[in-house]
Amino acid sequence: MTATSTPAVGIDLDRPTIPFSRIVGVELRKLADTRAGRWLLGAVGVISVVVMVIMLWVIVANDVAVGFKDFLIAMSLPMGVLLPVLGVLSVTSEWSQRTALVTFTLVPHRGRVLAAKVVVGLIVAALAVVVAALAAAIGMVLAGMAVDTAWNVNPLELLGFFALQALGLLMGITFGALLLSSPAAIVTYFAWAFVLPTIFGVATVFISWFGDLQPWIDFNTAQQPLFDGGWTGEKIGQLATSGTIWLVVPFVFGAMRVMRSEVK
């Protein structure tokens, strides 16, 4: 009897990898395909309009002058809550919806997927700034019919406004990568964003020397000059130092966890 042998299947090592731009496009679609993602993206636009309407009502009722910057500051508050949650979900949805196996089978290099999520986060932050600026511009035109207005924002302050939204979204991605659980990451983020600054504030009251240290370790406080235009050398140093502590180092550990976590 003659045995037939099946030739070994060869592996094409020269086959090109998936372009990074395609991975970014897929991650952008995935962010909008989930119900939570759609609601959050829609909420950014809706809340911007709601804030504009409330601002107009208050301004006209009290007959006070208003500036373009005032509208942006008001809109940054809800965006500072929604965008980080979107960043968390962009990472944790791979594990909560059990799509990680498919994602990392199609793109075995997990670092490329995580990098694509970061790029998508920056794109979403830029789009959020555009939406906020458009809503603020409409608000200024309408307010100008009743009160004095001032277009008092320079390009550096707009860049700072974008940086605020981008940093918030990146913090969400960082907590999502560290914990790989939507509830845990969201709760931890809000504890960091709202509880920790309160603790730091109390510490400055009872510990005299802590007031000088706080700007260097409190990332929330260090971000405030971004939209105030106070980008001095010392402020940039404080932002870089606190950002390294709360963003860069945790992101590295989060990336390591994404790389090494078992995919089920």
Q: Give residue-wise pLDDT tens across range 103-152.
A: 877 888 899 999 999 999 999 999 999 998 998 899 899 988 888 888 88
How far apart CA 83 and CA 89 sit, in angstroms, is 10
Decide: 188 and 179 in contact? Cβ < 8 Å.
yes
Report the candidate in 227, 189, 200, 218 with the shortest Cα–Cα distance to residue 81: 189
How far apart CA 71 and CA 143 sit, in angstroms, is 11
DSSP bridge pairs for 149? 66
Average of per-residue pLDDT across 58-82: 87
- How does the average pLDDT of the chain come out, rounded? 87
Average of per-residue pLDDT across 170-194: 95
C-alpha distances in Å from residue 141, one per residue of 8, 76, 144: 71, 20, 5
Concatenate the DSSP letters of all residues of 117-134 into one string.
HHHHHHHHHHHHHHHHHH
pLDDT band at 7 (very low <50, low <70, confident <90, very high): low
pTM for this structure? Answer: 0.88
pLDDT of residue 65: 85
pLDDT at 164 over 70: yes
% pLDDT > 90, the chain: 46
